[in-house]
Amino acid sequence: MMIRLFVFILILQFVACQSTEVEDPNFIGKADGKYLPAKDTSSKTFLKEVLDKNPNFPSFKSDFSMQIQTFVPKKDNVYLDGKVFVSKDTKQVKIQLMDQFFGMIFTELVANGEQIQIKPTSTKEIQTLPMGDILIQDPNSGKKYTIPFPVIYSYLTGNYISEIQNQKARFNTDDSRVYVTKPDGEYEYFFKEGSLDRLELTSGKRGLKAIAIVKTSANQVHPPKEITTKVVSLDTEKENVLIQIKLKKSQITEVSPQVFRF
């Protein structure tokens, strides 16, 4: 089944100078070792260690800055700011995208585990789509870049906790990994000292593989400080885009249900 993608145009300035290089993570790929079923004693022990470290993923709101580094047809950088709101109970996420120069909101996005709703502020129309990738289009060249939103959503909401408890999950306890097959691709979660360190996705249907790594502070695991995502085409094995999201002024607080309405 084709995955529906929504394309929205970022009216942003591409900056070629004074840019900061985004960290370029490498793919690790699936391990050669044996993956154990969820019912295995070693798998259960490892899962308990992860759940014991679970920060409960509280509701929060935060400002963020985003840098999108593109490579095709040429290397460029896009910068924008925004706000994000996350509900612990409903696993809803609201993102407001703003231009960096005037602070004006040009697009709002509301998502849960099943769907994404997107509304440009210039129109009353709301697009409702299944959870999946988002395409960003360069208004100058018309080139489109894939943003693997599901992996970013996983970090913001912590919904991967329920996924690794699925009885179909497979565990590589030697390397602290959990492998989960979903309709849109193969997900592998890498843990370090019980906390999620990276997420890798390979999707033949979507023609891409993606990696997301997270940086936290010593006294705060969630919300994270920084999420870096890399997308590579399966056909060419060439880098398409690097995305760096830096959260700032994060506040752990209850978020009103009204926030998740347009």
Q: Which residues pair with 84 in a beta bridge?
A: 62, 95
Q: Residue 79: what pLDDT?
A: 82
Q: Give me 207's structure tokens.
A: 């023609």
Residue 198: partners with Cβ closer than 8 Å, 6 or more residues away: 25, 28, 189, 190, 211, 212, 213, 214
Q: Per-residue confidence at 88, pLDDT binned at 50, 70, 90?
A: very high
3-state secondary structure (DSSP) of residue 7: strand
pLDDT at 221: 73
User: For residue 10, is pLDDT > 70?
Assistant: no
User: What is the average pLDDT across 210-239?
Assistant: 80
The pLDDT of 19-33, averaged and rounded, is 76
- Model confidence pLDDT, tens digit, residues 148-162: 888 899 889 988 999
Domain boundaries, the chain: 6-15+33-254
Over its C-alpha atoms, the chain yields an Rg (Å, rounded) of: 18
Residue 22 token pair: 């985004």
The answer to whether the bond into 73 is cis (omega within 30° of 0) is yes
Which is more confidently placed, 129 or 5?
129
The CATH architecture assigned to 6-15+33-254 reads Clam (2.50)
The pLDDT score that the predictor gives to residue 137 is 55
Task: Classify burial at 99, counting beta carbons within 10 Å of its beta carbon; exposed 0-12, middle 13-18, buried 19 or more.
Answer: middle
Read off the tokens for 84: 């994000």
Average pLDDT of the chain is 83
**pLDDT higher than threshold 70 for residue 216:** yes
What pLDDT does 136 receive?
Answer: 63
